[in-house]
């Protein structure tokens, strides 16, 4: 049957179920926060025109490889992209538009730190095409902001938020919980306060002590007293689910909450395993080409990335084809983070069977559901998602 798509074509087109996005990594910050292990660096002088030329070259390279795509999202992440000159941001957006037509409802997000330096630029970012801001508020308590090494106060954070609301239709912010000396009563109060100002989206991350960070080193030496234990942290997670749901912003991913319809389209591309082109130091991408689905990874050190783009016209340090079982595994691990879970048929299109006996056991324990062709973690299962995933992939 000539019109029947071949199984290979179905796999080449699999990304369409998730959409297509561009990630732009800006690797610089005004100061390094002691908990953060993102690829972020403090640099005195940044030659923005030079960086822009490199981003443009990378976007043009990827555009030539991925013709005919429609772009659903652009995300400026970091680092602190709100330290980019608005002209740089606008020019990157234009470079993307020159390669790929924009979807009518394209989401263009910029991560911002809420200091007065950045809020002065919000209007200019909006004029340049940014339509969503994700702010790193982290805490609504000045002592804790200081302990987290943040360079803004609660008052500054709130002022930044108000300006963001005036400039962008969609505004999200990040909070970190399970901080030193934080108990459930404090967290419940703080989250309720936060939700009173939230627009449509909130990310609440449990503090992770990452090796190689200042907090990691302090923790290893027995410092960083007063961190909530695992049981209290787990209760804080449940508190978060309950309070956000009651405020009309239910969880749609382990750490993310939104009014229905206001979910981050960009992150949905990752979790639903669409394709994303990635530019900038350390950025990871996924590209479906006629000869397979490729994982890309850019040079992590900012200077190395810039030099590679300028000298060789390619900032990537790795490009690796994914096997069908890699793809199935990645789809399982990413999509199960979502409340909607995964499409079983999509998973099976890549090969391996699900261990149906274990699925049945997990259903019996009330940890997952399987219905309407989807497998999803339940509210009881989500806090122990890692254990569920281990069970499913072992």
Ligand X SMILES: C[S@@+](CC[C@H](N)C(=O)[O-])C[C@H]1O[C@@H](n2cnc3c(N)ncnc32)[C@H](O)[C@@H]1O
Cα distance between residue 255 and residue 294, in whole Å: 27
Instruction: Tell me, by CB under 6 A, how many residues bind ligand SF4.
Output: 11
Distance (Å) of CA 88 to CA 47, 54, 85, 232, 267: 11, 11, 5, 44, 23
Based on CB atoms, which residue is closest to ligand X, 78 or 86?
78
Q: Which one of ligand SF4, ligand X, none interacts with residue 205, CB within 5 to 8 A by kind?
A: ligand X
CB 173 within 8 A of CB 202: yes
Cα distance between residue 292 and residue 307, in whole Å: 28
Q: Which one of ligand X, ligand SF4, none interacts with residue 207, CB within 5 to 8 A by kind?
A: ligand X
Of positions 210, 297, 330, 340, contacts ligand X by CB under 6 A: 210
Output phi, psi for 222, to 5 deg: 85, 10
**Residue 375 three-state SS:** strand
Strands (E), 11-94: 20-26, 71-78
Cα distance between residue 371 and residue 127, in whole Å: 45
Based on CB atoms, which residue is closest to ligand X, 199 or 362?
199
Based on CB atoms, which residue is closest to ligand SF4, 40 or 288?
40
Nearest to 37 by CA among 267, 178, 172, 209: 209
257: which 2 tokens?
Answer: 């909450």
Q: Is the peptide bond before 225 cis (omega within 30 degrees of 0)?
A: no
34: which 2 tokens?
Answer: 């002691």
Distance of CA 131 to the CA centre of its chain: 17
282 near ligand X, rule: CB under 6 A: no
Of positions 82, 99, 113, 203, contacts ligand SF4 by CB under 6 A: 113
Q: What element of type H or E holds 170?
A: strand 170-177
Query: What is the radius of gyration, based on Cα positions, of the chain?
Result: 21
Q: Which residue is associated with the tokens 């691990």?
A: 333
280 near ligand SF4, rule: CB under 6 A: no
Q: Which one of ligand X, ligand SF4, none interacts with residue 340, CB within 5 to 8 A by kind?
A: none
Cα distance between residue 286 and residue 214, in whole Å: 31
Q: What element of type H or E holds 352?
A: none
Distance of CA 113 to the CA centre of its chain: 16
78 near ligand SF4, rule: CB under 6 A: yes
113 near ligand X, rule: CB under 6 A: yes
Of positions 18, 19, 114, 136, contacts ligand SF4 by CB under 6 A: 136
Q: Which one of ligand SF4, ligand X, none interacts with residue 281, CB within 5 to 8 A by kind?
A: none
Of positions 66, 72, 75, 80, contacts ligand X by CB under 6 A: 80
29 near ligand SF4, rule: CB under 6 A: yes
315 near ligand SF4, rule: CB under 6 A: no
CB of 31 to ligand SF4, least distance (A): 7
Based on CB atoms, which residue is closest to ligand X, 15 or 51?
51
Of positions 72, 73, 80, 115, contacts ligand SF4 by CB under 6 A: 80
Of positions 12, 32, 131, 193, contacts ligand SF4 by CB under 6 A: 32
- The β-bridge relationship of strands 292-298 and 102-112 is unpaired
Q: Which one of ligand X, ligand SF4, none interacts with residue 32, CB within 5 to 8 A by kind?
A: ligand SF4
CB of 287 to ligand X, least distance (A): 23
Q: Which one of ligand X, ligand SF4, none interacts with residue 251, CB within 5 to 8 A by kind?
A: none
> In the complex, which residues of this chain contact ligand SF4 (CB under 6 A)?
29, 32-33, 36, 38, 40, 78-80, 113, 136
Residues that bind ligand X (CB under 6 A): 35-36, 38, 77-78, 80, 111, 113, 136, 138, 174, 176, 205, 207-208, 210
């Amino acid at each position: 049957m000539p019109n029947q798509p071949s199984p290979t074509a179905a796999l080449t087109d699999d990304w369409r179920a998730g959409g297509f996005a561009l990630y732009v990594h800006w690797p610089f910050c005004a100061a390094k926060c002691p908990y953060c292990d993102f690829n972020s660096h403090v640099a005195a002088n940044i030659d923005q025109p030079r960086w822009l030329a490199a981003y443009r070259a990378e976007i043009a390279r990827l555009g030539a490889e991925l013709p005919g795509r429609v772009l659903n999202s652009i995300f400026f992440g970091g680092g602190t992209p709100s330290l980019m000159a608005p002209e740089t941001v606008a020019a990157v957006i234009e470079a993307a538009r020159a390669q790929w037509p924009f979807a009518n409802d394209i989401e263009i997000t910029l991560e911002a730190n809420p200091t007065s330096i950045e809020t002065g630029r919000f209007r200019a970012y909006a004029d340049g095409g940014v339509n969503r801001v994700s702010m790193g508020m982290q805490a609504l308590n000045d002592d804790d902001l200081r302990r987290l090494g943040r360079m803004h106060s609660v008052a500054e954070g709130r002022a930044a938020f108000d300006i963001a609301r005036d400039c962008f239709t969609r505004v999200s912010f990040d909070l970190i919980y399970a901080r030193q000396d934080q108990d459930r009563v404090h967290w419940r109060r703080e989250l309720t306060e936060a939700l009173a100002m939230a627009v449509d989206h909130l990310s609440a991350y449990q503090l992770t002590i990452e090796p190689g960070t200042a907090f990691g080193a302090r923790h290893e030496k027995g410092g960083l007293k007063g961190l909530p234990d695992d049981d209290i942290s787990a209760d804080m997670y449940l508190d978060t689910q309950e309070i956000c749901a009651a405020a009309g912003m239910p969880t749609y991913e382990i750490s993310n909450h939104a009014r229905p319809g206001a979910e981050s389209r960009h992150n949905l591309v990752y979790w639903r395993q669409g394709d994303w082109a990635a530019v900038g130091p350390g950025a990871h991408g996924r590209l479906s080409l006629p000869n397979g689905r490729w994982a890309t990874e850019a040079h992590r050190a900012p200077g190395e990335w810039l030099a590679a783009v300028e000298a060789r016209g390619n900032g990537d340090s790795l490009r690796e084809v994914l096997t069908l079982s890699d793809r199935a595994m990645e789809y399982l691990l990413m999509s199960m983070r979502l409340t909607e879970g995964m499409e079983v048929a999509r998973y099976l299109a890549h090969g391996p069977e699900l261990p149906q006996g274990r699925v049945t056991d997990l259903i019996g324990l009330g940890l997952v559901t399987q219905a309407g062709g989807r497998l999803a973690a339940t509210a009881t299962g989500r806090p122990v998602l890692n254990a569920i995933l281990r069970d499913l992939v072992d």
